[in-house]
Structure formats: structure tokens, C-alpha cells
Amino acid sequence: MKEAMLRASLGDDVYGEDPTVNELQRLAADMLGKEASLFVPSGTMGNLISMLVHAARGTEVIAGDESHIYHYEQGGASALGSLVMHPVPTQSDGRLDLDDLRAAIRNRADDHCAWPGVICLENTHNRCGGKVLPMDYVGRVAELAQSQQVPLHLDGARLANAAVALGLPMAVLAAPFDSVQLDLSKGLAAPVGGMVAGSRAFIAQARRMRKMLGGGMRQAGIIAAAGIVALTGMVERLQEDHQRAAWMAAELSVLPGIELDPACVQTNLVVFKVRGREPRAFIEAMRERGVLLGEIGRGNLRMVTHCGLSQSDVEGAVAAARAALA
């Protein structure tokens, strides 16, 4: 990636003249099966841009109460777009129950209610431990959204992980959605950036929103070059992360005090609890042993495998957990 960044051909992307950014956008649109795509500084901005394009002021963003959009994006849709967050209960596997979604889509004829603006799903689901949404379920949500004329957006920060887990192209997973956001960082290992994809008309509006939010960059090909490497060379290797996460989950699950069902680990996230121990105390004990992990709410701890870790690193993390528990 560093070599690609050094060799990148550059132009002014605010004027659409950076050849490396343009190449990345064509590549991402093709891989996601959409007419066009847009390079953005972060996944959070990508989600915000999508919501602002889809939904008018005063309409509702229907999203899971455990979603990244609801928990970790500072309420940007409300603060900057005057959109109303309408949280829906999240099932343990990351799904939003269809009956709950139907109930959340308010009657446009009722003057008391905010109209639905956009429905947002997340795949894989972060706070649910990297769960992959089933394709038949996504299809049913898309049918519901279309029948109610509500746009459907995918927070696909880890969509590449979902695609590898299902053995399907990302374009197949993205097909039911009007827009999709894909992170180039995280498992794909680029230092910065993400992609938003959709119709040409959608991306034209998204480009204007990106500029309004301060996301228009000049010689952005320097970082877009890393994104090209991420999409062309880092997707298939995610399987290694999944295998190491599964191995780690199996080893952690037998340690006294660990609450973890290894069968629930589908991708590169391992979420568990520690009985009889404050989460922060366990986090600090692991830090002292050279292992970093985080808390994601309700006493759940999260460990993530990625390309910077070897099998010996994962084995060392399990050994550190054993020692910390002891």
C-alpha cells in the first residue's frame, strides 16, 4: 500500500480530476454492483451522506438500537440533517424483526407523525459480534421498503467480511439496497477512507453532501491508491482472519469465567463476557500482558482479528487471557 501511495497519479478530486480516485471509484462501483461510487474520508461520513441524500429534514432514520449509526456516529443525522432517529430492537443475530420494521414505518396520512425517510441495516453487525445478515432476510426487508417507498441503506463497513463468509460477491449482498457504505480500513487494511455506492443520481447528490461536510479532498489519490490495493488484494485473505477468530473463540470458550459460544463467531469479531470481573479490570489486565481489546456495552468485550496478527499472536492473546483470569 505504501508503494502504491508513492506511485499514485494525482489530480484535484474536488474537480473530479484525480485519476487514482476515479479508478478507485470505478472499481468499487463494479465490485458493489452499483452505477457509481464516491470515495469518502470515513465510514461514518459515508453513512451520514447517505442518510442526508435519502431523507428529507424531519423524516425518520429507522435503524437498529444496537447499530453503529445509532451508537457511534454522534447522532450526526439529527445534529446536521434534522433527521429523527427511530431505533428498532435489534435481534441477537443483527436482524431487525420485520413486524418491528412495519410498525416503525409511520402512516404518512397521520399529521402527528414524522414520515419515514430511510431504513438502515448493518452487515456484518458490529455489536452483535460480526454476524452476517441472511440473504433471504435482506430480500424481505427490501420488499417491505419498496412497498412503502422508503429507501434502504446498508452500513456495510464490514461487507467484505460478510461476502467472504457467505462465499458470494459483494455485489450480490449489496444488490437489494439503494445505497451501500463500505469501509476500506478495518479488515481491508487501508489507512483511511470508505466508499459510498448507488445510482448515478444518488452519487451526484452524495458528492455535493461530501463537499458540504468538508469531505472534498484535493490530491486524494495518495490515499485512494491504498484503497485500490485494499479492494484488489485484501478481500479474499479475510478468510484467514475468520479462521483465526474461530480458533480463538474455541480456545477462549473453555477458560473458566469466560461466557462465549464459539458457534456464534461467524467472521473476525469475538464477543464475550467475563463472569465475576469488571470489564475494565479485565481489559487492563490484558493490556498489561500486551493485548488490547475493548468493551462494546452491557459487559460485552470484543477482540478482533486482522491482517496485522499472526497465528502466534492469536495464541498469545489466549495465553494472556488465561493468565489474566488466573
Q: Are residues 141 and 287 in the same domain?
A: no
Q: Are residues 17 and 107 in the same domain?
A: yes
Please tell me the predicted confidence (pLDDT) of residue 208.
98
Q: Are residues 258 and 196 in the same domain?
A: no
Please spell the DSSP secondary structure of 50-66, one letter per residue: HHHHHS-TT-EEEEETT
119-134, pLDDT tens digit by residue?
A: 999 999 999 999 999 9
Last residue of a domain, one of 214, 233, 252: 233
CATH number of the domain that 189 lies in? Answer: 3.40.640.10
Q: Are residues 173 and 158 in the same domain?
A: yes
Last residue of a domain, one of 233, 254, 271: 233
DSSP state of 253: H
Q: Are residues 203 and 227 in the same domain?
A: yes
Please spell the DSSP secondary structure of 116-163, one letter per residue: EEEEEEESSBTTTTSBPPPHHHHHHHHHHHHHTT--EEEE-TTHHHHH
Last residue of a domain, one of 198, 213, 233: 233
For residue 21, the surrounding DSSP H or E stretch is helix 19-32
Q: Are residues 226 and 242 in the same domain?
A: no
**CA–CA separation, 162 and 123 (whole Å):** 7
**60 burial class (0-12, 13-18, 19+ CB within 10 angstroms)?**
buried
Q: Are residues 20 and 92 in the same domain?
A: yes
**CA–CA separation, 152 and 12 (whole Å):** 32
Please tell me the predicted confidence (pLDDT) of residue 283.
97
CATH number of the domain that 277 lies in? Answer: 3.90.1150.10
Q: Are residues 175 and 94 in the same domain?
A: yes
Please tell me the predicted confidence (pLDDT) of residue 188.
98
Name the stretches of the chain with pLDDT < 50.
Answer: none
Domain count, the chain: 2
Q: Are residues 264 and 184 in the same domain?
A: no
Q: Print the domain residue range for 36.
A: 2-233
135-159, pLDDT tens digit by residue?
A: 999 999 999 999 999 999 999 999 9
**pTM, two decimal places:** 0.97
